[in-house]
Amino acid sequence: MSAEKKVQSKDESRLKLDINNVFAEMIGKEHGMTVEELEEAKDKALKAHQNILKAEAEGEMGFMELPYKQKEVVNELKETAEKLKDKFDNFVVLGIGGSALGNIAVQTAINDPHYNLFKEARNGYPRLFVSDNVDPEGIKALLDKLDPEKTLFNVISKSGSTAETMSQFLLARKFVADAVGEEKVGEHFIATTSKDSGYLIEIAEREGMKKFFIPDNVGGRFSVLTPVGLLSAAMTGVDIEELLEGAAYMDQICRKSDFWENPALVNGLIQYLAYKKGKVMSVMMPYSDRLRDVADWYRQLWAESLGKEVDRQGNTVNVGPTPIKALGATDQHSQAQLYMEGPFDKIITFLEVENFAEELEIPGAYKDLDGVGYLGGHSFAELINTEKWATELALNKRNRMNQTVKVPEVNEFTLGQLFYFFEFQTAVTGELLNINTFNQPGVELGKNYTYGIFGRDGYQDKKDEFDSSAEHKDDLIL
């Protein structure tokens, strides 16, 4: 393929952002924006853009480095997958939050929907299970179905002290050791962790585990394009180089300093202005089963990054739009009523797939029945997108703010674009809100209470606080 044709094909696979339905011309002056408003505010967005690029130059924007600085890691991931895929029947991710949601999103988007059920769908790769909670019934049910001798576990924790992940690791370790013996435990685990600190790197060294490292300047919710997400992708046959290629392509777009040529910059500002206008809930609604878990991933990205108590100057601000996930057309029959007639407090972002891998014709029958016969001769691809367009129009008629990210087709290249687009947009919106987008002190507080209650050294004060608060709880349990 010539370089010119390759560039053309990549450009044809570019995501497109349709923002027509955020403007007053489409949804009315009371709830819509104007181009003039964006023009007046765009200098704030451009300043945010400059701040992000400056922070990147200072090594503080690790997610922006990922498309370019992982060649050796990618080769090692591919070699590992090729070496181990025939040795194990099951690949189990032990992780939570950013160490699980991206893995699930990649698997759902790229592989067969019934990948785990049918050998022919896996094309020689192992089954993938992501164990991302500590519900005892769920954990036991999974382990009961697995052959420990044919199972490889990927333990993901930057610190190695994540209570949920490490408790699952301790159980999985015993599960394996009881079957293969202590001396072979390390062969059944891969650790994905920090290179220079934490408990998991120490455990990995003791057990002789294979190790992959999470860059210190990349937080969990931004880590899907590190070994956190790339290892499970490689172990299930996903083209991880194309994922990163898509992210690199979107990065070049996000670097543009022309406001109207940078969709992540435009949309970061739209989300910020919408929030200021009282649209305090941000709904993501893909009309695609393959993209349903991207909405789940986005929910964490948006919530943990933008939900903050204080601004950069330490002032109490308690900001943050609430992310909501929905699925079209399914949630037209559960959530759409609220979106159409409830409070004017939402901005809805649709994900629309322009070309499905399958059209799937609807057979014709019962032509004498008006409520059924009209469907015949159309396709399911037509139907799902028509339902999206109809919902979009209905929202417009009710003056509800909405926009659409158009995905030419779902593949590794476009998925890499999606991940990077929303990560950069989140960084922009955080800058506009004048907060630290990359910390999560609220999450840490909950973790610390768990450590104290479980008796971890150094957290006795949290245990005391818990005991004190629990003294009066029985009074109001009905």
- Cβ(373)–Cβ(320) below 8 Å: no
**β-pairing, 308-310 with 316-319?**
antiparallel
Q: Is 271 helix (H, G, I), strand (E, B) or coil?
A: helix
Chain mean pLDDT for the chain: 95
In this prediction, residue 210 has a pLDDT band, given cuts at 50, 70 and 90, of very high
**What does the pLDDT read at residue 474?**
65
8-54+240-431 shares its CATH topology with 65-237: yes
Q: In angstroms, rounded to a whole number, what is the distance separating the alpha carbons of residues 61 and 424?
A: 10
Q: In angstroms, rounded to a whole number, what is the distance separating the alpha carbons of residues 362 and 379?
A: 5
Q: In angstroms, rounded to a whole number, what is the distance separating the alpha carbons of residues 59 and 218?
A: 10
**What does the pLDDT read at residue 7?**
44
CA terminus-to-terminus distance, the chain: 70
Where are the domains positioned within the chain?
8-54+240-431, 65-237
**What does the pLDDT read at residue 158?**
93
- Candidates 437, 426, 424; CA nearest to 312 is 437
- Supply φ then ψ for residue 239, to 5 degrees: -80, 95
Q: Is 273 helix (H, G, I), strand (E, B) or coil?
A: helix
pLDDT digits (tens, 9 = 90+) for 135-155: 999 999 999 999 999 999 999
The DSSP 8-state label assigned to residue 98 in this structure reads G
Q: Compute CA distances 247 → 62, 216, 320, whole Å.
A: 13, 20, 26
Residue 252 has pLDDT above 90, yes or no: yes
**What does the pLDDT read at residue 475?**
66
Q: In angstroms, rounded to a whole number, what is the distance separating the alpha carbons of residues 258 and 474?
A: 59
Residue count of the chain, please give it. Answer: 478
**What does the pLDDT read at residue 476?**
66
In this prediction, residue 468 has a pLDDT band, given cuts at 50, 70 and 90, of confident
The answer to whether the Cα torsion of 304, 308, 311, 317 is positive or negative is positive
65-237 is classed CATH 3.50.50.60: no
Q: In angstroms, rounded to a whole number, what is the distance separating the alpha carbons of residues 232 and 228?
A: 8
**β-pairing, 189-193 with 151-156?**
parallel
388 is written with which tokens?
């999206």
pLDDT digits (tens, 9 = 90+) for 419-433: 999 999 999 999 999
pLDDT digits (tens, 9 = 90+) for 295-323: 999 999 999 999 999 999 999 999 999 99
Residue 374 has pLDDT above 50, yes or no: yes
**What does the pLDDT read at residue 53?**
98
Q: In angstroms, rounded to a whole number, what is the distance separating the alpha carbons of residues 157 and 190?
A: 11
Please, what is the Cα angle at 322 between 409 and 217, to 5 degrees?
70
What mean pLDDT is predicted for residues 56-60? 96
pLDDT digits (tens, 9 = 90+) for 396-418: 999 999 999 999 999 999 999 99
Residue 2 has pLDDT above 70, yes or no: no
- Cβ(265)–Cβ(254) below 8 Å: yes
- Supply φ then ψ for residue 213, to 5 degrees: -120, 145
Q: In angstroms, rounded to a whole number, what is the distance separating the alpha carbons of residues 462 and 455?
A: 10
**What does the pLDDT read at residue 6?**
44
- Cβ(417)–Cβ(264) below 8 Å: no
pLDDT digits (tens, 9 = 90+) for 75-124: 999 999 999 999 999 999 999 999 999 999 999 999 999 999 999 999 99
What mean pLDDT is predicted for residues 213-241? 98
38 is written with which tokens?
């964006």
In this prediction, residue 473 has a pLDDT band, given cuts at 50, 70 and 90, of low
**What does the pLDDT read at residue 470?**
74
Q: DSSP string of 43-90?
A: HHHHHHHHHHHHHHHTT--HHHHTTTS-HHHHHHHHHHHHHHTTT-SE
**What does the pLDDT read at residue 289?**
98
CB contact burial 93-112 (16+ within 10 A = b; e otherwise): bbbbbbbbbbbbbbbbbbbe
**What does the pLDDT read at residue 472?**
61
Report which secondary-structure segment, H or E, holds 319.
strand 316-319
Residue 369 has pLDDT above 60, yes or no: yes
Q: In angstroms, rounded to a whole number, what is the distance separating the alpha carbons of residues 152 and 107?
A: 17
Domain 8-54+240-431 - what CATH class? Answer: alpha beta
Residue 231 has pLDDT above 90, yes or no: yes
pLDDT digits (tens, 9 = 90+) for 433-463: 999 999 998 888 888 888 888 888 888 988 8
Q: In angstroms, rounded to a whole number, what is the distance separating the alpha carbons of residues 225 and 233?
A: 10
**What does the pLDDT read at residue 328?**
97
Q: In angstroms, rounded to a whole number, what is the distance separating the alpha carbons of residues 308 and 429?
A: 12
Q: DSSP string of 231-247?
A: HHHHTTT--HHHHHHHH
Q: In angstroms, rounded to a whole number, what is the distance separating the alpha carbons of residues 466 and 478?
A: 21
- Cβ(393)–Cβ(221) below 8 Å: no
pLDDT digits (tens, 9 = 90+) for 30-45: 999 999 999 999 999 9
Which residues have a catalytic role annotated? 304, 333, 447
71 is written with which tokens?
């060649």
Residue 1 has pLDDT above 60, yes or no: no
**β-pairing, 281-286 with 322-325?**
parallel
